[in-house]
Amino acid sequence: MKMAIVGAGSIGGLIGARLAHAGQAEVCALARGATLHSLQTQGWRLRSPDGDLQAPARASDQPAALGVQDVVVLAVKAPALAALAPQLGPMMGPHTLVVPAMNGVPWWFCDRVPGFEGRTLSSIDPQGRLSQVLPASQTIGCVVHASASTPEPGLVQHRMGRGLILGEAWGGHSPRVQALCDVLAHAGFDTTHSDHIRRDIWFKLWGNLTMNPVSALTGATMDQVLADPLLLAFCSQAMREASSIGARVGCPIEQSPEERHAITAKLGAVKTSMLQDVEAGRPIELDAIVTAVHEIGTALGEPMPAISALLGLTRVFGQRTGLYPATATAASAAAAVSAPPRS
C-alpha cells in the first residue's frame, strides 16, 4: 500500500513515523521548509513513552515527485487545506483514498443531509473547490484520539493516545476501510472500523467546540477553564446547543456536558491545540471547529446564543491578533448569520 502523509507535523508525523517503522506500507511525505529538510536528512523521528523510533523517509515539496498514491492522509491545519488541495492532483488516482486526519467538520459532512443537498458549507468550502478535487466517494472519515507535539521540525513528541477511528463517509463497513485499519493497527494504532463515522466526528467536535476557543481566548489550560463556574456553565450551554444541532443532522449525542467535563478533568493541565496555535502565532482552526457548527445551526433555524457569542468573540480575537482572516472567511460567516432558517 502506497501512503502519503500531507503535513508531517505532530499528528502527520506520528502516523508517518509509525507506518514507516512498521514497514508494511510504502510511506512518503509532502512537506516543506524545515520539516522537509529534517525528513530528508534525518528521516522520521518519534519520541514516545514506550520508546523512541527512527525510520528513513522519502519526502518532497512537489506532489508530482511522489506520484499517485493508494492513500493520502491529510494532516494539515484546516485553514491551509483550501489552497493545498488543488495541488494534490499528481498524487490522486481514480481509486486513491483521502483520509483527513484533521480537527472539526470536514467539507463533505453535509453532502447527504436533508435540506443541504446541492450546497457546500461556505465556512469550510466557500467555492466548492474541495468537493471538486477531493470527492466524497474517495474520502474515508477519520477521527484522531492522540496527543502529540513537534518540539522541533521533523521531530514528534507523542504524549498519549493511539486511537484512530475510520469509516466510510456515509456509513457501513467496507473492505477498503478494513484494509486501512489493518495497516494502521500493524503500525501500533488502536483502530476502530466505524459504521457511523459522522457521529464519531460530531462527538469529538462536541468536546472541542468550547474548550479550544475558550482556551485560545483566555490562555488557560483545560483544568483552569473547568475550575471557573461561570465559564463552565457557558461551555455547557454551547454544548447543549451543539447537541441539538447534531440530533438534527443524524449525529445524536448520548452524553451530557457534565459527563464530558468529568472526563476532560482527568486530563489535567492540558493546552488545547488552538491555544498552542495562538502561542506559536499560527492561524487558528476556528471555521472547522466553530463557524461550521454555527452555519449548520443557522441553516436549521436552531437557537445558538452561546455558540454565536463564542464565534463572535473568537473571530474578533483572531482578527485582532492576525490569526484569522478579516475578509473572506469572516464575510462567509456573516452571510450564514443572515441566511433564512430552514424548516
Task: Report DSSP letters for 234-298, one per residue.
Answer: HHHHHHHHHHHHHHHTT----S-HHHHHHHHHTT-SPPPHHHHHHHHTPPP-HIIIIIHHHHHHH
Phi/psi of residue 128, nearest 5 degrees: 75, 15
DSSP 113: S
- The active-site residue, picked from 2, 77, 204, 266, is 204
Query: Is 271 annotated in the active site?
Result: no
d(CA 105, CA 48): 29
d(CA 173, CA 186): 19
Per the DSSP assignment, residues forming a β-bridge with 44 are 55
| DSSP three-state, residue 232 | helix
Cell numbers for 250: 443524524
Return all residues near 44 (Cβ < 8 A) that are at least 6 apart: 13, 16, 17, 20, 21, 53, 54, 55, 56, 57
- Residues acting as catalytic residues: 204
